[in-house]
Amino acid sequence: MPVTYNNLRLGYNYEQGHLRKAQDATKLNNAFLSTEGISQLKSVSIWGQFSYNRTVEDSVAFAHQTRNNLANPYYFGSVRNVSYQRTVYSLKTLASKNLLGKNLPVGLGADYRIGDHYSTNDPRGEISDYQFNLIGSLGYHLTDHLAIGAAYRVGYGLEKANVAYKNNSLNQGRVSPEFTNYLINGYGEPGEYNENRTVQNNQKRNGLDAYLTFENDVLGSFNFLYQTVKDNQKFDYRTGDGITEYTKFHLTSENYRLFWLKKGKTNKFSADLAYSRNDGDNYLNVYLANSYLYKNNTIAAKGYFSLIKDQITHNFGLGLSKYEERKQDGIAGNDIRFNQLNYSLSYGINHQNKNNHNWGFSLTGLYNQYLDSDFSVLLANEGVFTRNVIYYDYAYNTASKFGANLSGDYSIPMFKQIQAGIKVALTYWRREDLKDFGRALTNTPGKDRFSSNISLNLYF
């Protein structure tokens, strides 16, 4: 990023539709504010980013949990739909300095997140969470064109969840079973949990990064990143009498990314290749054994080409990615896997005149193709969670979907050093026929989903 670069974004997101996963919201309203900038303080470069999100989710079932820890296998839920309100603050910062001339860049950074999540109707879930991570990095320029680097990450997190009832007659699920509170533990049928409805999740993590950057006037610039993080989570119940340990969850994440960019006078090429995977498993203290395995992986390739002529830029994009996910629950005997292929094809045009008035729009076609899957769920263990979540999500994930995104933006210079703009985006998804897998569904994924976004952007 160039020195003295800053931006400010203020926006609003809206989503609605029943084409969603079982534990997602039917309708979502999100207001956000974010700012990012870099400045130079003598020989030290300081980068910072701050964001604020206020979200209201309607019709959320079986998901008294944050949206930050979706691999989490241990949380509360209920059949009844609730409305959730979420407030999340995030702050990131990084300071870097070049030593030995410009051959030895060192950096120290931190990121902090704090969130408050609560439902406004019974059963009333309340979750508080925070995350704090540190990173230290060291690089070295082998030549003027080739640089390598490494970083070490360490962090800590905490989540506290509680479920309560304003109407005490409902807190045992006797008046209406849909108010019953369940403890989801893995990916099988949960048990009723109407006492001591609190849990604390302590998290510790560490990881390594490796970087390689190569720049050449003829070949362009290449950037390679490897990152691995190990996250250890402990779930327990705490009172003044002591701590009762429930389960442990270990999650290992790996990411590989190669980005290439080549600029010419009248054109620009770029390619983005990425691979990521997550492997998680739990350890139940009551059984002294693992009972749940969670795995996913993504392979993605994106290519972009820009043709610049006079004041007009034509942008062409092509994307292809494959996503695979598997969840296994040994206690329930469940084993569910699915494989998807995602396509995107885009065209955009941008115009900028001599007075720096800028306008543009883009259109992207989207297609999510179901490839194959495995489904093994014992009928003997079928219950309310299996019918409402496991069956529903399998039907959703094995249905092919198509959609489109249309976006437009306009910006003008203001005052002396500010570029102000507005951007609007619309997205629509629709599914094809559901796959018949021999089970009766309590609910079925809806036909479509619509989302929109509008933001005011300032660059200075």
pLDDT at 440 over 80: yes
Q: What is the pLDDT of residue 73?
A: 87
Q: What is the pLDDT of residue 38?
A: 92
- Give the side-chain half-sphere CA count within 13 A for 235: 24
Q: What CA–CA distance (Å, rounded) separates 316 from 384?
A: 47
Q: What is the pLDDT of residue 223?
A: 97
Burial class (CB in 10 A: 0-12, 13-18, 19+), 400: middle
How many other CB atoms are found less than 10 A from the CB of residue 71? 16
Helix, strand or coil, per DSSP, at residue 385: helix
Helix (H) or strand (E) holding 394: helix 391-397
Q: What CA–CA distance (Å, rounded) separates 366 from 384?
A: 34
> How are strands ordered across the β-sheet holding 74-77?
74-77, 182-185, 191-192
Q: Residue 329: which of 285, 294, 292, 296 has the closest Cα? A: 292
Q: What CA–CA distance (Å, rounded) separates 327 from 296?
A: 9
122 vs 347 pLDDT, higher one = 347
Q: What is the pLDDT of residue 173?
A: 63
Task: Give residues with Cβ within 8 angstroms of 199, minimum separation 6.
Answer: 74, 75, 76, 160, 161, 235, 236, 237, 246
Q: What CA–CA distance (Å, rounded) separates 191 from 184?
A: 7
340 and 370 Cβ atoms separated by less than 8 Å: yes
Q: What CA–CA distance (Å, rounded) separates 409 from 423?
A: 4
Per mean pLDDT, which range of 58-72, 145-159, 250-264, 307-321 is the poorest?
Answer: 58-72
**What pLDDT, in 10s, does the model give residues 180-233?**
899 999 999 998 888 888 999 999 999 999 999 999 999 999 999 999 999 999
Helix (H) or strand (E) holding 384: helix 384-385
Helix, strand or coil, per DSSP, at residue 102: coil
Band of pLDDT at residue 414, cut at 50, 70 and 90: confident
Q: What CA–CA distance (Å, rounded) separates 116 from 126?
A: 8
For residue 95, CA distances in Å to 41, 81, 390 come to 10, 45, 45
Average pLDDT over residues 40-67: 93
Q: What is the pLDDT of residue 2?
A: 58
Q: What is the pLDDT of residue 455?
A: 97
356 and 399 Cβ atoms separated by less than 8 Å: no
Q: CA-based Rg of the chain, rounded to a whole angstrom?
A: 24
Please state the pTM of the whole predicted model. Answer: 0.93
Q: Residue 211: which of 149, 146, 144 has the closest Cα? A: 149
pLDDT at 93 over 80: yes
End-to-end CA distance of the chain: 13
**What pLDDT, in 10s, does the model give residues 233-277?**
999 988 878 888 899 999 999 999 999 999 998 999 999 999 999
For residue 126, CA distances in Å to 51, 88, 246, 460 come to 22, 14, 19, 39
> Helix H segments across 51-152?
none
- Give the side-chain half-sphere CA count within 13 A for 236: 12
Q: What is the pLDDT of residue 12?
A: 98
Share of the chain above pLDDT 70, in %: 98
pLDDT at 1 over 60: no
Contacts 24+ apart (CB under 8 A), 176-183: 177/79, 178/78, 178/79, 178/80, 179/78, 179/80, 179/122, 179/123, 180/78, 180/79, 181/76, 181/77, 181/78, 181/123, 182/62, 182/76, 182/77, 182/78, 182/384, 182/385, 183/74, 183/75, 183/76
Q: What is the pLDDT of residue 238?
A: 86
Which residues pair with residue 94 across a beta bridge? Answer: 47, 109
Q: Residue 13: which of 458, 455, 456, 457 has the closest Cα? A: 455
**At residue 208, what is the residue type?**
L
Q: What is the pLDDT of residue 163?
A: 93
Q: What CA–CA distance (Å, rounded) separates 230 from 40?
A: 34
Q: What CA–CA distance (Å, rounded) separates 237 from 79?
A: 23
Q: What is the pLDDT of residue 323?
A: 98
- In the chain, how long is the greatest CA-to-CA distance? 74
Band of pLDDT at residue 365, cut at 50, 70 and 90: very high
Distance of alpha carbon 245 from the chain centroid: 28
Average pLDDT over residues 127-152: 96
Q: What is the pLDDT of residue 372?
A: 96
pLDDT at 388 over 90: yes
Helix, strand or coil, per DSSP, at residue 296: strand
310 vs 111 pLDDT, higher one = 111
Q: What is the pLDDT of residue 416?
A: 78
Q: Residue 184: which of 56, 295, 335, 79 has the closest Cα? A: 79
Helix, strand or coil, per DSSP, at residue 379: helix
Q: What is the pLDDT of residue 174?
A: 64
In eight-state DSSP terms, residue 177 is: G
Average pLDDT over residues 437-452: 93
Band of pLDDT at residue 286, cut at 50, 70 and 90: confident
Band of pLDDT at residue 287, cut at 50, 70 and 90: confident
